[in-house]
Amino acid sequence: MHTLTRRSLLAAGLAGACSTIGLVHERPARAHAARARPAQGLPARLVDPRPDTRILLDAPPTKDPFTLGVASGDPSPDGVVLWTRLAPDPLADDGHGGMPRRNVEVHWQVATDERFAHVVASGTEIATPYNAHAVHAEPVGLEPGREYFYRFRTGRHLSPVGRTRTAPHPYVFGPDLRVAAASCAHYEQGLFTAYRAIAEDDPDLVLHLGDYIYEFGREHRPDLAVRHHDGPETSTLADYRRRHAQYKTDPDLQAAHAAAPWLVVFDDHEVADNWAGSHHRDDPPSAFLARRTAALRAYYENLPLRRGAEPRGTTMRLHRRITWGQLARFHLLDGRQYRDAQVCGGGWHSSSDCPERHDPSRQMLGHAQERWLAHGLTTSPTAWNLLGQPVPILVRDRRPGPGELVPVDAWDGYTAARRRLLDRLSTIPHKNPVVLSGDAHLHLAGELHVDAEDPESSRATVEFCVTSVSSGGDGVSETPVTRVIRDENPALSLVDARRGYLRARIAPHLLEVDHRVLPYVSRPGAVATTVASFAVEYGRPVLHRTRDDASPLP
């Protein structure tokens, strides 16, 4: 894998190529007027005014505006989203990254080589103050199933180079697919070493399963802090923009984004701890609606999402499908906007003290998203169907002996919705559904049964839960709590409390998963190893543990 930096790019002597940026297959410059409208009654400090296309273009910034790096995402057979955001002063108080309140032209190029000798597409986007000068370019007409390199320019400033990849043609399997998965990256509680390791693994896709940022103020857990959030707990649009910018300045996160296209879903901390639909325990409804609106807009602005995901008023369309040839389809789920509020005050409960968790009317995905998922699974043409969603479906009973103690923020608090989902998955073994989840700060692997709380019921599918990138600080393989979880939940084949990420290889007849761990995140230099590996065969929702050592996949 090549390490691509601005210095190495400039050293390659690309002055000629740079002078033609925006001239090859150039699309007309245009202002992409945002379609989101502020909800009635939202304070002006939370939502910027709609873009004014009459604003004249401003001169490019004099300082380097590419401090947040580059990213790509949501690939299709003929295109991909290319992202950057102009921010010469990333932590500026107003959330605009040191940019003027004017539009700025940004040029982009896509090439088949990292030296940009063969540019195949280029264009110009208008970065507006309404979107915090974020750019979401969507080149089309690329070849399916191949690697590309991309970069941006504004004025004399050239961005770092990113590498991306288009999906294969819909009628071919293509090569085996290499995927990395991550979740829960708390800036204060550890270094983002896992992101660097993901970049070094050279994946084709990176899947982020939520908690990309954390909203807490400085030193939420001072006992775990190895660095500090800038500013108080996020609540305004400027707050969320600054927080995303602070995370994006991390070089390890930038390296992972530049290495491969990403597929992202959010969980709770991108907005507020344990939010559910229009509910949050610390905010009255009107205040939380304004906060959620601000958070979702900042999320869109700072991640490589297609323009169809841009928030409209108080909501955004996050759930979507990404198809990778005949090999795999990713069903990316929204587990927050449509769910009912947590019962029994949240936290951990049993059936005896919280029978409400079994209420058949309770929703996790919402009726419309459930129907959308069912249709997508039933009609899927691919060998494998991966459900990327934020919270574990697997039961995590942590009460020794009789009875149970489970987290009602996860699917354990929505047991009827879980049963509907698992019933559906159990009827389509030939579609090979596999669940990928995050949130728990634990590596988990297990078999899901139609009745998740009865391991004697019929199998539905398997689930792999990725541990945190850094949340929780330095981890250990086993704690008293994880020992209980392992002993009380026979469906689980792995419980590990170290930090890390997942690495998977998907072939037509076999899916292999490595659970990667780091010995520490409180200081630099940790080396990732494999704590356990599993294989799932086509048509058989059974986990096969293949090894427990640090050897890499061949």
Tokens at 171, concatenated:
């009628």
φ, ψ of residue 454 in degrees (nearest 5): -130, 100
Structure-block tokens of residue 468: 């945190």
**Beta-carbon count within 10 A of 352 CB:** 8
pLDDT one-digit tens code per residue, 19-58 = 333 333 333 333 333 333 333 334 434 444 555 544 567 7
Q: Give domain status of residue 106, yes or no.
A: no
Phi, psi of 129 (to 5 degrees): -65, -25
CB proximity list for 517: less than 8 A, separation 6 or greater = 443, 467, 475, 477, 496, 498, 499, 500, 528, 529, 530, 531
Percent of residues, the chain, with pLDDT higher than 90: 85
Task: Supply the pLDDT for residue 218.
Answer: 86
pLDDT in tens, 225-262: 999 999 999 999 999 999 999 999 999 999 999 999 99
SS3 for 436-498 is EECCCCCEEEEEEECCCCCCCCCEEEEEEECCCCCCCCCCCCCCHHHHHHHHHCCCEEEEECC
> Which tokens sit at 55?
């604003």
Confidence at residue 62, expressed as pLDDT on a 0 to 100 scale = 85
Q: Which of 120, 139, 147, 123 is nearest to 78 (CA)?
A: 139
CA separation (Å) from 458 to 387, 411, 541?
20, 19, 10
Please say whether the beta carbons of 389 and 265 come within 8 A: yes
At 222 the pLDDT is 87
What pLDDT digit, counting tens, does each position of 309-364 carry? 999 989 999 999 999 999 999 999 999 999 999 999 999 999 999 999 999 999 99
134: in domain = no
Q: Is 93 helix (H, G, I), strand (E, B) or coil?
A: coil
Q: In the block, which residue shows the tokens 């019962």?
A: 343
Confidence of residue 5 (pLDDT cuts 50, 70, 90): very low
For the stretch 481-514, pLDDT in tens is 999 999 999 999 999 999 999 999 999 999 999 9
Strands 384-388 and 499-507: unpaired
Residue reference for tokens 């500013």: 231
**Is a pLDDT exceeding 60 seen at residue 550?**
no
**CATH number for the domain including 348?**
3.60.21.70
* Residue written as token pair 């344990």: 274
- The band of 14, judged by pLDDT with boundaries at 50, 70 and 90, is very low
State the pLDDT at residue 356: 97
Query: Side-chain half-sphere of 526: how many Cα atoms within 13 Å?
Result: 28
Residue 412 in domain: yes
State residue 51's pLDDT score: 54
Q: What is the pLDDT of residue 323?
A: 98
> What mean pLDDT do residues 419-435 have?
96
Lowest mean pLDDT among 17-31, 39-53, 150-164, 460-474: 17-31
User: 445, 499, 497: which is closest to 471 by C-alpha?
Assistant: 499
| 184 inside domain | yes
Would you give the DSSP letter of residue 279? B
Q: Which residue has the higher pLDDT, 266 or 23?
A: 266
HEC secondary structure over 375-416: HHHHCCCCCEEEEECCCCCCCCCCCCCCCCCEECCCHHHCHH
- Percentage of the chain beyond pLDDT 70 is 89
> Could you tell me if 196 and 206 are in contact, meaning their C-beta atoms sit under 8 angstroms apart?
no
The answer to whether the CB of 146 falls within 8 A of the CB of 135 is: no
Dihedrals phi, psi of 313, to nearest 5 degrees: 70, -120
Contacts of 508 (CB under 8 A, 6+ apart): 173, 326, 327, 383, 538
Single-letter amino acid code for the residue at 407? P
**What's the whole-number mean pLDDT along residues 72-95?**
98
The per-residue DSSP string of 321-337 comes to EEEETTTEEEEE--SST
Mean pLDDT taken over the chain: 90
Arithmetic mean of pLDDT, 118-144: 98
- Residue 82 belongs to some domain of the structure: no
Q: Encode pLDDT of 428-453 as tens digits.
A: 999 999 999 999 999 999 999 999 99
Cβ atoms within 10 Å of 176's Cβ, excluding its own: 15
Task: Encode pLDDT of 134-145 as tens digits.
Answer: 999 999 999 999
- Asked if residue 157 belongs to a domain, the reply is no
pLDDT on residue 29: 32
Tell me if 129 is assigned to some domain.
no
* pLDDT tier for residue 60 given thresholds of 50, 70 and 90: confident
Model confidence at 61: pLDDT above 90:
no
Q: What is the pLDDT of residue 52?
A: 54
How far apart CA 536 and CA 432 sit, in angstroms, is 9
In a domain, 156, yes or no: no
Distance CA 481, CA 406 (A): 12
CA distance 142 to 138: 11
User: Which band of pLDDT confidence, cut at 50, 70 and 90, is reported for residue 3?
Assistant: very low
Q: Count how many domains the chain has.
A: 1
Domain with 444 in it: 31-60+174-547
Per the DSSP assignment, residues forming a β-bridge with 149 are 111, 163
User: Helix (H) and strand (E) counts for the chain?
Assistant: 9, 24
